[in-house]
Amino acid sequence: MRSREEMLQAVNYDEAKVPQFVVPSPLQKADGSTVRNAAEWVNFQRPRVLEMFRREVYGESLPRPDRCSFQLLSCQPDAYLGLATRKEIRLQFEMVDGKTHSAEMLLYLPNQATAPVPAFLGLCFKGNHVTSSEKEVRITGQNYPGNQDLGEDKRGLQAERWQFPEVLKRGYAAATLCYHDFFPDHANGWQRSALSLFYAQPDSPAVRARHTAIGVWAWGLSRALDCLEAEPGVDARRVAVHGHSRLGKTALWAGAQDPRFRLVISNDSGCGGAAMSKRCFGENLEIITSVFPHWFVTSFAQYARREAELPFDQNFLVSLQAPRAVCIASASEDLWADPRGEFLSGAYAGEVYRLFGAEVYSPAQMPAPGGRLSGLVSYHLRAGKHDQTWEDWQHYLELGDRFLK
Ligand code: GCU
């Protein structure tokens, strides 16, 4: 294996050096023929592609625990100066053999609502208290030993990424949970992960070969959606799942596995998310699979420096969202995540969306910074750095108004 320094030196940021490759088609069947209609995609090819991603990228799916209960920990009817009701809810998972695991949701409901509302749901990096400017939000993220983000001084630090007041004013509920609650994000996070519900030794080689942190985070998003289904203020048939960066990869995988998500948003998800692996632009498989070995199954690492041999690419992952709405967002200075590669996976997923009669954007339509393309497959390129900002949210809220209302 090369050293990290050698790997970083080899990273390509030059469009002229992107290798020529044949774009693999999600419509190509095992016998070489092509899927011709939506029914064939839904009933035959989609399950095959999903299975391939489980085996080769994100690991097997996990069932619901034997028992899930949702315990109200707090309720503040006067949050954000009366704009919203703030709830904190513990998702308690139990198995018949006595194993347990839990996670805490922060949920805001708009007080102006007269009927159940659509919602935006996303996992957060540092803890629920970091997403909100409200000082009373419970501190979460303790499941990551040594987490540096648990202090009072961390409150609200990433509130800009969440834009709760703006989301609420537009009539949506907003929910988040800390991803560490489901799988602490480090290579030794297995033991404290939700896999402990299903395995006596969640860090054994057998479990590591079959599961991944991204898989467990995506499972957590589905369990959070179960919780929203039990919440009378939310219309759980109209939920958008969103995520930034590694959590954008996770949002795409959650959307692929759980068709209850109506709108799937990938914000700057990059390598192993929306970006096409075969372009080898910015972060590549060699780096991501060696720096974050717990994110993917080991078979994905076998394609490091052999991306040309991949029988699929991330356009297949975007295709798995069809015919639901999906949005891919990039930032112009975020070359590590390969904005053009993120854009192209949406364009190449178009052939699946077209089976459903959708109008899709073409590979020739890459917008300039500040530009957006809106449809069932949407894309925008925000000018600036790797982040999730108010500008990104403006597009997401517009898509919400179109696809969730
Ligand atoms: C690293 C990693 C990316 C990831 C990002 C993030 O940069 O290489 O793949 O998307 O972290 O999650 O912020």
How high is the pLDDT of residue 25?
Answer: 98
Given a cut of 90, whether residue 11 has pLDDT beyond it is yes
CB 401 within 8 A of CB 327: no
State the DSSP code for 324.
S
How high is the pLDDT of residue 386?
Answer: 98
Q: Verify whether ligand 1 is closer than 6 Å to residue 351 (CB atom).
A: no
How high is the pLDDT of residue 1?
Answer: 79
Average pLDDT, whole number, for the chain? 98
242 is catalytic: no
CA of 121 to the centre of ligand 1 (A): 20
- At 330, list the tokens: 């990039």
**For residue range 333-346, what is the model confidence (pLDDT) as tens digits?**
999 999 999 999 99
CA of 245 to the centre of ligand 1 (A): 6
Q: Verify whether ligand 1 is closer than 6 Å to residue 62 (CB atom).
A: no
CA of 244 to the centre of ligand 1 (A): 9
User: What is this structure's pTM?
Assistant: 0.98
How high is the pLDDT of residue 196?
Answer: 98
How high is the pLDDT of residue 14?
Answer: 98
CB 89 within 8 A of CB 105: yes
Given a cut of 90, whether residue 90 has pLDDT beyond it is yes
Given a cut of 90, whether residue 135 has pLDDT beyond it is yes
- At 196, list the tokens: 């402990």
The 117-124 sheet, strands edge to edge? 67-78, 84-94, 100-110, 173-178, 117-124, 234-244, 263-267, 325-331, 377-382, 372-373
State the DSSP code for 397.
H
245 is catalytic: yes
State the DSSP code for 39.
H
**For residue range 313-363, what is the model confidence (pLDDT) as tens digits?**
999 999 999 999 999 999 999 999 999 999 999 999 999 999 999 999 999
By alpha-carbon position, which residue is closest to atom 3 of ligand 1?
Answer: 246
Best of 7, 123, 246, 289 for a ligand 1 pocket test (most atoms within 8 Å of beta carbon): 246
CB 265 within 8 A of CB 274: no
**For residue range 262-317, what is the model confidence (pLDDT) as tens digits?**
999 999 999 999 999 999 999 999 999 999 999 999 999 999 999 999 999 999 99
**For residue range 150-180, what is the model confidence (pLDDT) as tens digits?**
999 999 999 999 999 999 999 999 999 999 9
Given a cut of 90, whether residue 20 has pLDDT beyond it is yes
CA of 246 to the centre of ligand 1 (A): 5
How high is the pLDDT of residue 197?
Answer: 98
In this structure, how many other beta carbons lie within 10 angstroms of the beta carbon of residue 175? Answer: 25
Tell me which of 193, 196, 245, 266 is the catalytic residue. Answer: 245
SS3 392: helix
**E strand residue ranges, 57-195:** 67-78, 84-94, 100-110, 117-124, 173-178
